[in-house]
Each structure stands twice: as structure tokens, then as C-alpha cells.
Amino acid sequence: MRTRNTQRTSHAAIALLAILLVSVGASADVLDARFYQIDFMQGADTLIDSDWGTLVLEFDGAPDFQYLNLVVDGMWRIQNIPVWSLQGPSAVNQMSFNFPLGTPAGVDVPMLVYSAELTAEPLFTAPGGVTTDAFVEPRSVTIGGLGGPVGPLPPATPLIGWIPVRWSFNDGFNDYNQDVGVDECVPGAFSNSLSWLDAINPALSIPEGLKSVEGLKEPTGWVPPAVDDFGDPIPGTGGTGVDAWQGKGAALAGYVTTRYFDISQADSIFDELDDDQDVELWGDHHAAVVSGMVQHADGTYTIYVTHDTKQGEDGGTVTEPITYNPTTGDVTGGAPGFFSGSPLRGFVVECPVEPTETTYTFSQIDFEQGADTVMDSDWGTLALTFEGTPDFQFVNLSVDGIWVIQDVCVYSFEGPGTMQTQLLNFPLGNPPGMDVMSINYAASLTPAPLGAPPADPPIFGLVTGRAVTVGGLDGPIGYIPPPFPITGWLPDRWSDNYEFASHNQEVGVDECVPGAFSNSLQSLDEQNDHIDIPADKKSVEGLKGPTGFTSPTTGSDGKPTPGTGGTGVNAWQGKRDSVKQWVTTRYFDISKIDNVFDEIDDDQDVELWGHHHAAMVVGMMKHPNGKYSIQVAHDTKQGQKGGTAIETITYDPATGAVEGGSPGFFSGSMLRGFVVECPRPPGTVGDANGDGVVDVFDIDAFVLAITNPELFELLYPDADISLCDTNGDGVVDVFDIDSFVELIVGGGH
């Protein structure tokens, strides 16, 4: 290990001044900016004091692209690179950007002068205004391990982007980006991707030995690097061949399909990312996970790679953008491992194998709930993957001799003949804090209820971890009670909105309420062509204002803290007012649960209002014993990928509490009620009282709209006063009377 010269190390004596200087004053969104000069520690290709600089940027996340521009010593080095908030729009984000320092290789750069901006729109000229002096620290980089040593290192070039015309991102890879050893880029990239893919697909359950760095070395044909006289590995002397993906594909054929795309097929990768497949970029001598990709109007690409740039040491895991020009076939703005001027080989894509028979996959829930976090909880989850049928099916499960799922009725929300997955939660039987690695279980899925535990002998089942974050309604979720067995039976009455399940979205921390409303309104809008709700009235972001959503606070790790944000229990009222032109909104207390069947039968959308969580209702059943099964569609992994799920809870009106629960609707907790949205029918001008019909019952409301609009709004909160503008002149006044009378006499026509 080398040390910097005394000029560089003396900077520590004025660290306080450095803290004051290193900031980007041009944008309030930037929290911290740090500059580095790269030392490439690459064995025979080592280059100390290279001409490559790195900016490590910390910034507040945003729901849309931001554009980074950087001028260093008078030269525009980073130009309109689109920056996506991969750690979430409500979190503190960090990303690295590489640029030319403008000095010959071998020259130590202790300081630089810069101006930078992070803006909502691209800039047409370089950032101007105030410049800032910043210290430059060394950044030790070791990368590679694909197809031999990296070779001579080319000079850095500016990083240039523009407005995206197409893009796709797989958020959450930062949580799985691992430190790896020297020349381990290939097993490392595969391990990062497969760990992420396994986490977002509960039914996948890849064995640890097939998704760890160590476990992937043999299938990829990895060979260890040679060592020097001190016993340290020499970069570029080990690694894998360029066909390593084939061995990995064969080893994991039972879990994922593996495909290779030549770099000329880059456009196809957008579809793969959109489908939540994992993707690795295959460079000249380095491989990394692709977290996202952007195509610009000029045909060039920005590719965001997530990898370890400090192989064999801690602290090198980063996400960095590179730019690629398909006309030349070369990288134009690089990053360690994907150097400016070097070619890209292609992409490796993994996709979960679709099961063809019923499978039972088990996990133990880690509730990541801020102050209420419970790791290794006593809650278990069964991911039931099955082929849909036209009729009900009944699932039963015994765990270690206890009947924990009893004749729960399963409806095929994705249609008959389609393989689909639903989640059911049950008691594992362990005390909280005890890691459960395996269970002995017996399970069955039958066309009729059993009335008894499964008769088959128990078999061995592996248990993996399931990270869960829910909530955002009226404060933190609080104490997490133990789970109860979940019970069902052949229903006396049922209703479903199965087509609504396809709109279940991933949301941020504490966003259950705007998320549930967005899911429902998008479903309702799709099913009713005439209402045409504007996008900003039915998106998660657009619904935050009307629902009174407040963002959660951030912890010391820069991530939002669950339970510190969200909405109040009356959030549905603000939403009602914001969309009343298109839908009516009503609230049903939980005591009126039977009325909700009629609403679902009429294709209205429904949200379940729990104690501290809300979710879209996609189905409901009533059993002969008076209990109810409610199927909810929601995101159980707020702020991360892979948490959208359909889960069943059971509710006992005799106790007023949930019996068999799910994350957010816990066993023993109370349910508040339901929020129901109904589309306004076409041709409702004159519907003064908001009941969807134009008749004599609108007269009192119409008179009030003309004479006292403030009282009208108070007495008819679901009505839209603009519908009293019956003559279409844009004003509600006495000149509407004649046309209103004509509507009443003509029955609304």
C-alpha cells in the first residue's frame, strides 16, 4: 500500500476548512460533494495519479430526473447527465460520476475549482456563477476479472447526456451490492443480481449456495489470481472467461433462465428491465449489474452500473453512469472497468423460471418498521404458486404438527389456466428473535375444503427471510402482535374485482394511503372509459397533496424512517374533493361490511382502512360462521422492490378484530372501515345532490348551489357544484334554472 506525498496528507490539518468548502451552492438539492483522483491498482497495468477524477454526490431524491452539470477548472466535464433517484424519491441518494481532471497521468491533483448544478431541466450552457475550491483525495480502484487483465488505461473523457426519450430502472440493487475479492467481478455481479431477483420473487427461493459469490465461482469457471511476493493477489491474473454466463445458466436452470444479448441488441434491455429481470453489463474486461438505462434523442445511451470498484478491500461499492455510442460501438464517458473508448460486449439477463405445478415456498418475516422493528419475527409467510381454476380452491398447511392455515379459500385473480402466486401468513411457532431456517410441513390445495389438517406425511422445507415495511395511516404501526392461524371455509357470499389486482404498485415508505388510492383509481379509470381521470389526479405523487401526506423523516443512514410520515385517518376526504368531478367517494364503517359486497359487485373500487395501514380490496368472502375473508393487494416492502402482493386476512365481527392477519392488518388489531369510489355516469349534468341520477331529489341541492354555494359544499360533500351549470356558460346562477327544469322533466336527457 502506498501513501500520498506530504502535500496531500497535510490537508487533514485544515479539515474544517474542507468541510466548509466542499459544497455545491448552486443547488439546494445537493447535500454533499466530494472529489477524488483515481489510483488504478491493476497489477501490471497500475496507474498512480491518473487523469480520472470522481465526484461522489449526495442529494435529496426526486420523483423525476434531475440533470447534473459540472465545470472543473473552467472546463465543462459533466454535461446534462440524467440522474435518477435509485434509493428512492424521499431518501438521501448517493451516486458517483467520473470525469477528466485535465492533467497528465502521473500528476498529483491536490485541489480543483468547480461549479456544479443539479437541476430539474438540462442546461444549454455550462454552469456559471460562483465557483468553489475543493480538496481532492485519492480513490484507490481495483476492478476486472473478465477475459484477462484490463490492459493499458485510456484517458478519461467528459460525461455527456441529454433529455431521455426512453428509460427503465431496477431500484434497490444498492442494497445487494457486495464487496468482492480481486478479479471477482463476474461471480460478484451474478450474486448481486440473483440475490435481488430472489428477494423480489417470493416463490423463487434460490439456495444460498447458488447465489453467493463463493457458490458462483465454480459454475462460472472462476480461477483465483496469482499472488505476489507478499502474498497479495495480483489483479488481472485470475477471473473468468467471457462465456462464464453459460456455466452459471446451467447451474441455475431450475430457478432462472439465462440469456445473452449482444450489445447491438441494447434496445431489448429496456423491456427486460421493465419486466423486473436482472441484467449484467458485459464489458471488455469487467462485468457489473445494470441498475438502469436511458436512451437519448441522439441515439446514445446512459447505463447505470452497480459494482465494487475496490476489489479485495472494503468501501468500493458504488453506482456510476457510463455513456455509450452505438454508432462507434464504444464507451464515450466511462467508469472504472468500462473505460472511455473501450467496447462493450453485451448483456446477460436472468428471468425466473415459471413454475408448472403447485409450489409452497416459506419465509420468515423481518418487520423493518423503524422504532417498531422486529427481526426474525414469529410471522411466517407461505408463497403459494398454483395454476388458476374457474372455481375456488382451498389451501391447508400444517407446520411442525400445528394446523396453521385451515381451509382458506383461494380465488384465481389472474384467471384460470395461469400460474399465479398469493401469500398467506401463519404462526411459525418460534419466539420472536429466533432465526428459523427450516420447517417440517404438510400442505394441500384442493377443490373442496378438508375440515382437517393435510393427511400427507410432513416433509422438509427451507425458510428464507422476507423483509416487510408497511403502514403510513395515522402514525406508526406500533407493537407487532403474534400471528394467529388463518381459517376459512366454503363461502356463503363472495365478490371480487380480480382485474384490479394488475394495478398494484410499489410505493415509498409510509405511502400506503396514496398508493391504495392510486391503485384503485387507475383500475377504475381503466374499466370506465368515460371518466378519464387526469394522470396527476390518480398517481401516487399526485395524491400526496390531497391526502395530506407528509414525508417520513430520514435516519442517520439517509433512508426514510417508517412510521414517521403518512396521512391522517380522514385522508379520504381530501382525496374525495380532488377527484369528485370523476368519482364519488363514500366511507363505510367496518360494521357495514356487508354493504361492501354490493359495491364490489357493481365494479366500484374499495380500500380497506386498517388501524395504521390501507390497501386495495380485490375480493371478499363471508363464511357460514359469520367471519369474513378479505383479499388485499398492497406493497409490503415500501421503498424497495418486490413487495407487491395479494394476501388474505380473516375478520371476526364478533370481536371486531382481525383473526388471521397480514403485514399491516395484524392479528388482533381493529379494522376501521372501507373507502369506496364510484365513477360518475356520463350525462350527469344537473345531478346536484351527487347521487348519480338527475331527478326531483336534486331540486333542493340545485337551489342551494345558486343561493348559498358555501352551504351547498358543506351539505353535499360528494356533489360537484359545476354540474349545476346546466346551461354550460361556466357560471352557476339563475340563468341555469330553465335548463335545469328541462333536465328534470326529461329525466336527465
> How far from 423 is each of 74, 380, 388, CA to CA, in Å?
57, 10, 15
pLDDT in tens, 7-45: 333 332 222 223 223 333 334 467 889 999 999 999 999
Instruction: Give, in degrees to the nearest 5, the angle at Cα 737 between 731 and 743.
Output: 105
- What count of other Cβ atoms lies within 10 Å of the Cβ of residue 570? 13
Quick one: pLDDT at residue 23? 34
- The residue-averaged pLDDT of 319-335 equals 93
Closest CA to 422 of 436, 412, 432: 412
133/149 Cα distance (integer angstroms):
37
Instruction: Give, in degrees to the nearest 5, the angle at Cα 747 between 744 and 749.
Output: 100
Q: Greater confidence, 63 or 102? A: 102
Cβ–Cβ < 8 Å for 606, 684: no
pLDDT in tens, 226-255: 999 999 999 999 999 999 999 999 999 989
Closest CA to 507 of 455, 535, 553, 549: 549
Highest mean pLDDT among 575-589, 683-697, 709-723: 709-723
- In this predicted structure, the answer to whether residue 2 has a pLDDT above a threshold of 70 is no
Q: What is the mean pLDDT of the chain?
A: 90
Q: What is the dihedral of CA 238, 243, 248, 249, to 10 degrees?
A: 170
Instruction: Count helices and strands (H / E) in the chain.
Output: 15, 32
The residue length of the chain stands at 749
- In this predicted structure, the answer to whether residue 498 has a pLDDT above a threshold of 80 is no
pLDDT in tens, 267-312: 999 999 999 999 999 999 999 999 999 999 999 999 999 999 999 9
- What count of other Cβ atoms lies within 10 Å of the Cβ of residue 674? 24
632/646 Cα distance (integer angstroms):
6
Cβ–Cβ < 8 Å for 570, 658: no
> Which residues, at least 6 apart from 9, have a Cβ–Cβ distance to it below 8 Å?
3
Q: Lowest-confidence range among 334-338, 496-500, 728-732?
A: 728-732
What is the pTM for the complete model shown?
A: 0.70
Cβ–Cβ < 8 Å for 251, 245: no
- In this predicted structure, the answer to whether residue 694 has a pLDDT above a threshold of 80 is yes
Quick one: pLDDT at residue 581? 72
Q: Lowest-confidence range among 42-46, 153-157, 690-694, 711-715?
A: 690-694
Could you say which DSSP state residue 591 is in? G
- What count of other Cβ atoms lies within 10 Å of the Cβ of residue 476? 20
- The residue-averaged pLDDT of 455-477 equals 93
Question: Exposed, middle or buried: residue 710 (CB in 10 Å: 0-12, 13-18, 19+)?
Answer: exposed
pLDDT band of residue 203 (cuts 50, 70, 90) is confident
Quick one: pLDDT at residue 282? 97
Could you say which DSSP state residue 106 is in? T
pLDDT in tens, 151-185: 999 999 999 999 999 999 987 777 899 999 999 99
Crossing angle of helices 213-220 and 244-251, in 10° steps, is 110
- The residue-averaged pLDDT of 369-376 equals 95
- In this predicted structure, the answer to whether residue 455 has a pLDDT above a threshold of 50 is yes
300/331 Cα distance (integer angstroms):
10
Quick one: pLDDT at residue 728? 64
User: Sign of dihedral through CA atoms 23, 25, 31, 33?
Assistant: negative
Quick one: pLDDT at residue 13? 28
> Which residues, at least 6 apart from 584, have a Cβ–Cβ distance to it below 8 Å?
576, 677, 678, 680, 690, 692, 718
Q: Greater confidence, 233 or 724? A: 233
Closest CA to 540 of 612, 608, 472: 472
- The residue-averaged pLDDT of 406-430 equals 92
- The residue type of 624 is P
- With H, G, I as helix, E, B as strand and everything else as coil, classify residue 707: helix
- With H, G, I as helix, E, B as strand and everything else as coil, classify residue 198: helix
Q: What is the dihedral of CA 743, 681, 575, 676, to 10 degrees?
A: 120
pLDDT band of residue 510 (cuts 50, 70, 90) is very high
- The residue-averaged pLDDT of 514-521 equals 95
pLDDT in tens, 302-326: 999 999 999 999 999 999 999 999 9
- The residue-averaged pLDDT of 683-696 equals 85
Beta bridge partners of 510: none
- What count of other Cβ atoms lies within 10 Å of the Cβ of residue 9? 10
> Which residues, at least 6 apart from 231, have a Cβ–Cβ distance to it below 8 Å?
none
Cell numbers linked to 457: 406425511
Estimate the share of the chain in helix, then strand, then coil, as percent rounded to the nearest 5. 20, 35, 45
Phi-psi domain of 102 (left: phi exceeds 0; alpha: psi -120 through 50; beta: other): left
pLDDT band of residue 3 (cuts 50, 70, 90) is very low
